[in-house]
Structure 1
């Protein structure tokens, strides 16, 4: 991941309105787009991982979605495939689109392009982004969402909690 990669900027209606270097987008908290991919195995478990302490947003927190910024001129699905392979070493899978969701806080503002993939192969962490991970049941993930909300990145919780609870049936 290059600090000065050029990312697509998105308007409030979800349209591309320009581009900016990643460093400028972060410094000004400009609205952009990001892929958000939940990896599940054939047993229905979800891959939960810890972000490294060097990440520019939410360092050291747990995350159950892989993903990242959509580059200028990049299709969000292509970005999702790229990020999934970079972060977790997951490649050659079919993305199941689950729509978009918007997120904003003091650290980041973006349109999330959400996808789910099924993967039973090995997970290979990108050392700059992931420091640990494990497969957890949906029940365990929901328990963590309820009991340990401050340990999980807030944007993934915001854009995915409804879907995760639906997988559990709650």
Structure 2
């Protein structure tokens, strides 16, 4: 597999260049990524387990599909590409919830957040997703509070307030 060219972003959220994915990961360079939460028509969220071969947070549970924004790629286009690749969700509008920033010792990026509603079949990308199922927002928030180590920390950080808002409504 070729080393993808990833868009690099500066602290103000603007594109500042590009680098091969391997270099971005090795040096923890600030980049951008899409983050798409898939809900069904009754409000549940699709929760999936990342494969153990993922380059960050392998084997953890995630409730957002997504990935790096490629060099020259619009973040919204990247979000459509990622949710279709990972979960087979296609042909539905993504609602833009705005960007937020995230950083830890493994990754630093601007998260472009989207939500969509999907009642069709979920088709996992075997390289990325090992398991998945629908959960209520209340159950997901319970896991965030009681089992935080089981979930991907960046998704928790960039979506926590939104999830709490959904469970309250």
**Structure 1 length as normaliser, TM-score?**
0.98
Question: The residue matched to 1:71 in structure 2 has which SS?
Answer: coil
What is the SS of the residue equivalent to 2:68?
coil
Alpha-carbon distance between aligned partners in 1 of 2:41 and 2:2, rounded to the nearest angstrom: 35
Map residues 34-49 of structure 1 onto 2, 5 A cutoff. Answer: 34-49=33-48
User: What value does the CA root-mean-square deviation take over the aligned residues?
Assistant: 0.9
Q: What runs of 5+ residues in structure 2 fail to find an aligned partner?
A: none
Would the alpha carbon gap of residues 30 and 3 (structure 1) be closer, same or farther in structure 2, given more than 3 Å must change?
A: farther
Deviations 1:29-87 (A, max 9, x none): 00000000000000000000000000000000000000000000000000000000100
Following superposition of structure 1 onto structure 2, how do residues 48-63 of structure 1 map, counting pairs within 5 Å? 48-63=47-62
Change over 3 Å in CA distance of 1:3–1:167 after alignment to 2? farther
Distance 1:61 1:79 in 2: 22
Q: State the aligned residue count.
A: 169
Q: Would you say the 8 A contact 1:41–1:118 is kept in 2?
A: yes
- Secondary structure at the counterpart of residue 65 of structure 2: coil
The residue correspondences of 1:1-170 to structure 2 (distance < 5 A) are: 2=1, 4-169=3-168
Aligned partners of 1:33, 1:93: CA distance in 2, in Å? 22
**Structure 1 residue ranges (4+ consecutive) displaced by more than 4 angstroms after TM superposition:** none
Task: Encode CA deviations 1:62-114: one digit per residue, 9 max, x unaligned.
Answer: 00000000000000000000000100010001010000110000000000000
| Aligned counterparts of 1:162 and 1:43: Cα–Cα separation in 2 | 20
Tell me if structure 2 keeps the 8 A contact 1:3–1:23: no
Q: Which runs of 5+ in 1 are unaligned?
A: none
